[in-house]
């Protein structure tokens, strides 16, 4: 091929811009399928992505289509392309969060040496709704924050608090833990709660804030938190980027079923059981006497 000449597809190849049978441009289809393999860890961090020639053969497209697909993945930070090494899945430091722990994302990952920043997006009182009924407050404080590591967003957090905590300011909630702040300001110590995890597609607003494509699966953690008097302190929903945050769960073996009877340390129950055994022994002794006297 002469220098400066445009690359021409061979007969039968599909070229960039020409849509696939489903109407989607070929470079986007290839990028979507490779992205799904990377995020689903079929292609793990450090793994070699199929070569340009292999992708050309697999999809029946020109090299320019393949290069455009790989360029989009590189722009998203999912792959690295180096001369002599081909294309590999980019190593991305995962941030781990123990779901059953009360401390939030920032407290947990900063304990591992990762600096997390928190920006307050919205803060203000609003009428209570069915979703915030557990707070037993006519009005609630709605707080919306964005957590990031470096310049990369990790999680979008939406929280509702009782009106009695309504004088919190955006300044004191910036780059800090909410739980630590309400403990310092009000003496409220969050110690327990209920959590649910589900995968959802990011809506347009969430996707824009987390810098992902609308519809991208994100991990939604939602629930309530209570203080040491079992009073509800917050209702929250947190959308995590699934490509950056991993939920860890500690698993323990359930103890064997305890035998029927009083719980350990139950003195009244033990006394009742001993008395019952005593009565059974007396009954057996009487039956033995009657049998011997026959």
Secondary structure of the chain in HEC code, one letter for each residue: CCCCCCCCCCCCCECCCCECCCCCEHHHHHHHHHHHHHHCCCCCCCCECCCHHHHHHHHCECHHHHHHHHHHHHHCCCEEEECCCEEEECCCCCEEEECCCCCCHHHHHHCCCCCEEEEEEEEEEEECCHHHHHHCCCEEEEEEEEEEECCEEEEEEEEEEEHHHCCCCCHHHCCCCHHHHHHHHHCCCEEEEEEEEEEEECCHHHHHHHCCCCCCEEEEEEEEEEECCCCEEEEEEEEEECCCEEEECCCCCCCCCCCCCCCCCCHHHHHHHHHHHHHHHHHHHHHHHHHHHC
Tokens standing for 240?
């995590």
* Same-domain check for residues 114 and 236: yes
Q: Has residue 19 been placed in a domain?
A: no
Q: CATH number of the domain at 85, please.
A: 1.10.10.10
pLDDT at 104: 53
* Same-domain check for residues 40 and 147: no
CA separation for the pair 201, 217 (Å, rounded): 4
Range of the domain at 75: 26-89
> How confident is the model over 35-48, as a mean pLDDT?
80
Among 100-114, 124-138, 187-201, 260-274, the range scoring the smallest mean pLDDT is: 100-114
* Same-domain check for residues 159 and 67: no
**pLDDT band, very low/low/confident/very high, at 253 (cuts 50, 70, 90):** low
Q: For tokens 């069915």, what's the residue?
A: 130
This model's pTM is above 0.85: no
> How confident is the model over 47-75, as a mean pLDDT?
89
Q: CATH number of the domain at 203, please.
A: 3.40.1410.10
The terminus-to-terminus CA distance of the chain in angstroms comes to 119
**Is the pLDDT assigned to residue 97 strictly greater than 60?**
no
* Same-domain check for residues 139 and 69: no
> How confident is the model over 149-162, as a mean pLDDT?
90
* Same-domain check for residues 108 and 212: yes
Q: What percent of the chain has pLDDT over 90?
A: 24
* Same-domain check for residues 64 and 121: no
Last residue of a domain, one of 89, 107, 141: 89
Whether 52 contacts 67, CB under 8 Å = yes
The tally of domains found in the chain comes to: 2
* Same-domain check for residues 186 and 122: yes
CA distances from 162 to 89, 130, 159, 173, 184 (A): 45, 14, 10, 16, 16
* Same-domain check for residues 82 and 211: no
Q: For tokens 């009782």, what's the residue?
A: 162
**Is the pLDDT assigned to residue 218 strictly greater than 80?**
yes
CA 28 from chain center: how many Å? 27
CA separation for the pair 31, 71 (Å, rounded): 9
Torsion-angle region of 280 (φ positive above 0: left; ψ -120 to 50: alpha; else: beta): alpha
CA separation for the pair 220, 137 (Å, rounded): 25
β-pairing, 86-89 vs 79-82, is antiparallel
Q: Has residue 265 been placed in a domain?
A: no
The listed range with the strongest mean pLDDT (81-90, 100-109, 116-125) is 116-125
* Same-domain check for residues 100 and 243: yes
Angle at 47 between CA 41 and CA 49, to 5 degrees: 95
> How confident is the model over 159-169, as a mean pLDDT?
92
**pLDDT band, very low/low/confident/very high, at 267 (cuts 50, 70, 90):** low
Q: Has residue 117 been placed in a domain?
A: yes
* Same-domain check for residues 137 and 171: yes
Among 1-5, 109-113, 186-190, 268-272, the range scoring the smallest mean pLDDT is: 1-5
**Selection from 195, 240, 234 nearest residue 220 by Cα:** 240
> How confident is the model over 48-54, as a mean pLDDT?
89
* Same-domain check for residues 132 and 155: yes
* Same-domain check for residues 71 and 153: no
Q: For tokens 């707080």, what's the residue?
A: 143
Q: Has residue 275 been placed in a domain?
A: no
Q: Has residue 6 been placed in a domain?
A: no
| β partners of residue 192 | 226
């Amino acid at each position: 091929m002469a220098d400066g000449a445009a690359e021409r597809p061979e007969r039968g190849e599909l070229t960039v811009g020409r849509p696939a049978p489903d109407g989607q441009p070929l470079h986007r289809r290839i990028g979507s399928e490779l992205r799904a393999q990377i995020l689903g860890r079929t292609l793990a961090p450090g793994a070699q992505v199929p070569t340009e020639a292999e992708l050309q053969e697999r999809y029946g497209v020109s090299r320019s289509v393949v290069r455009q697909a790989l360029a989009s993945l590189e722009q998203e930070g999912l792959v690295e392309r180096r001369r002599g090494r081909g294309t590999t899945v980019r190593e991305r430091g995962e941030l781990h969060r123990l779901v059953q722990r009360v401390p939030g994302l920032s407290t947990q990952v900063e304990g591992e040496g990762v600096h997390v920043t928190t920006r307050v997006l919205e803060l203000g009182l609003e009428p209570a709704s069915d979703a915030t009924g557990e707070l037993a407050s006519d009005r609630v404080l709605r707080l919306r924050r964005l957590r990031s590591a470096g310049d990369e967003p990790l999680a979008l957090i939406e929280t509702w608090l009782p009106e009695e905590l309504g004088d919190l300011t955006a300044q004191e909630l910036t780059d800090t833990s909410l739980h630590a702040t309400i403990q310092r300001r009000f003496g409220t110590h969050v110690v327990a709660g209920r959590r649910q995890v589900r995968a959802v597609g990011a809506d347009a607003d969430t996707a824009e804030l987390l810098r992902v494509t609308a519809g991208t699966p994100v991990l939604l953690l939602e629930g309530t938190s209570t203080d040491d008097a079992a009073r509800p302190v917050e209702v929250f929903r947190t959308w995590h980027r699934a490509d950056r945050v991993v939920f860890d769960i500690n698993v323990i073996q359930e103890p064997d079923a305890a035998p029927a009877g009083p719980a350990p340390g139950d003195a009244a129950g033990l006394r009742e059981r001993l008395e019952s055994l005593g009565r059974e022994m007396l009954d057996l002794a009487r039956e033995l006497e009657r049998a011997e006297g026959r």
